[in-house]
Amino acid sequence: MSEKNFIKKNFINYVNKIVEKNKISHAYLIEVDNYDLDMKYVYNFIKMILLNCTYDEIIKSNNKIVKLIDKNEYPDLFVISSDTLTIKKEQIINLEKEFNNKSLFDNKRFYIVKETEKLNVSSANTILKFLEEPEDDIVAILLTNNRYRVIDTILSRCQILSLKENLYDLDVSDDVLDFLDFVLHPKKYFINPKMVVENYFSDKINGRKLLTNISVILLACINYSVLKNYNNNFKDLFNNILKDNDINNLVDILSIFEEETSKLEFNVNFKLWLDSLFCRLIGGIYD
């Protein structure tokens, strides 16, 4: 299986889980390689949420909603883009006005922002207010070619999905590898979780950075398990991880980290957040 096909399959499996478990976030940031080619995955994800179907079911569906979306005629889906260097504040304000109206289908409503990195300071601040106070029936899907070009305050409020073929450089420093060992074998640290807190999570910024680094390693390892040739420099590391953990387990951990990382920019109690993270790692996926 090529890397391209694996990334798409991984995306499909992930969104299937989101819909199956009804874990719909109010905001997603999706990295794409090519807007023309990858938009079909974005639109199919929206269809899945609206119809509560799997990806394969959506592909075969002749539902009215599916047909409207395919024709760009679905009234509760709005797309923002710009042919210039920036997305303007007025575009976001007009979007907010559209959502003052009631849904015509009494279902979730969506807006897509293409090239999210084009949001300037003014338009970014405007959309932040929209993201921070989401209504239950509104889902934001922000698209970019590179998540690291997106304003950090926006990035932190989204659940991140990826259709990118390339993976990022791995940080395999001693601190990262030590915490990775805890992530993969949390029960052996159960007698002294305070040690983990003091060593690795001095504050929110360091905590977010650490979780992001571990997430990148896990994603690379998941890819390696299929490709077997992702990067020979990390072959031993990946083989050691896969020796003790199956792919489903790694995907579950990755899902937890994506969700928990996005919370750190909100006004959360850091200690309670840490307690929740460790409980999920120790008492959830390892039962």
The two three-digit tokens of residue 72, written as one number:
């760009």
- What is residue 283's predicted lDDT score, i.e. its pLDDT? 65
d(CA 30, CA 186): 30
Is residue 140 within 8 Å of 132, Cβ to Cβ? no
Q: Is the entire prediction scored with pTM above 0.75?
A: no
Is residue 156 within 8 Å of 268, Cβ to Cβ? no
Task: Work out the angle at residue 214's Cα, subtended by the Cα atoms of residues 127 and 210, and round it to the nearest 5 degrees.
Answer: 65
- What is residue 67's predicted lDDT score, i.e. its pLDDT? 96
- What is residue 217's predicted lDDT score, i.e. its pLDDT? 86
- Identify the three-state secondary structure at position 29: strand
The two three-digit tokens of residue 262, written as one number:
């996005």
- Identify the three-state secondary structure at position 198: helix
Task: Work out the angle at residue 247's Cα, subtended by the Cα atoms of residues 148 and 21, and round it to the nearest 5 degrees.
Answer: 75
Is residue 141 within 8 Å of 113, Cβ to Cβ? yes
d(CA 8, CA 4): 6
Supply the DSSP symbol for 62: -
> pLDDT tens digits for the chain (287 residues)?
444 565 688 789 889 989 998 989 999 999 998 898 999 999 999 999 999 999 999 999 999 999 999 999 999 999 999 999 899 999 999 999 998 888 888 899 999 999 999 998 899 999 998 888 878 899 999 999 877 778 878 887 888 888 876 555 577 888 888 888 888 887 666 656 566 666 777 777 778 788 888 888 887 787 677 555 444 568 888 888 888 888 878 878 887 887 787 777 667 888 888 888 877 877 654 44
- What is residue 65's predicted lDDT score, i.e. its pLDDT? 95
d(CA 158, CA 51): 22
Give the helix, strand, coil percentages of the chain, each rounded to 5. 60, 10, 30
d(CA 196, CA 186): 10
Residue whose structure tokens are 């007698």: 191
DSSP assignment of 66-100: HHHHHTT--TTEEEE--SSS-B-HHHHHHHHHHTT
- With both helix axes pointing from N to C terminus, report the angle between 204-227 and 270-283 in degrees, rounded to the nearest 10: 30
